[in-house]
Chains A and B, each alone.
Chain A
Amino acid sequence: GAVVSQHPSRVICKSGTSVKIECRSLDFQATTMFWYRQFPKKSLMLMATSNEGSKATYEQGVEKDKFLINHASLTLSTLTVTSAHPEDSSFYICSAISGTGNYEQYFGPGTRLTVT
Chain B
Amino acid sequence: AQKITQTQPGMFVQEKEAVTLDCTYDTSDQSYGLFWYKQPSSGEMIFLIYQGSYDEQNATEGRYSLNFQKARKSANLVISASQLGDSAMYFCAMRERLYNFNKFYFGSGTKLNVKP
Q: Which of A's residues lie within 8 Å of B, judged by CB?
A: 1, 32, 34, 41-44, 46, 49, 51, 57, 91, 93, 95, 97, 102-110, 112
Contact = CB atoms under 8 A, between A and B. Distances in A.
Interface residues of B, number: 23
B35 A97 contact: no
A43 B3 CA distance: 13
A69 to B, nearest CB: 15
Nearest to B97: A103
Interface string B87-116: 000010101000001111011110100000
Contacts of A95: 45
B47 A44 contact: no
B72 to A, nearest CB: 22
B43 interface: yes
Interface of B is mostly: strand
B44 interface: yes
Given A32-B102, A44-B106, A103 B47 contact: no
A97 B97 CA distance: 13
Interface of A is mostly: strand
Interface of B: 33, 35, 37, 42-47, 50, 52, 91, 93, 95, 101-104, 106-109, 111
Given A104-B50, A109-B43, A110-B44, 11 more contacts: A1-B47, A34-B104, A44-B91, A44-B106, A57-B101, A97-B102, A105-B35, A107-B44, A107-B45, A108-B44, A110-B43
A97 B111 CA distance: 26
B101 A43 contact: no
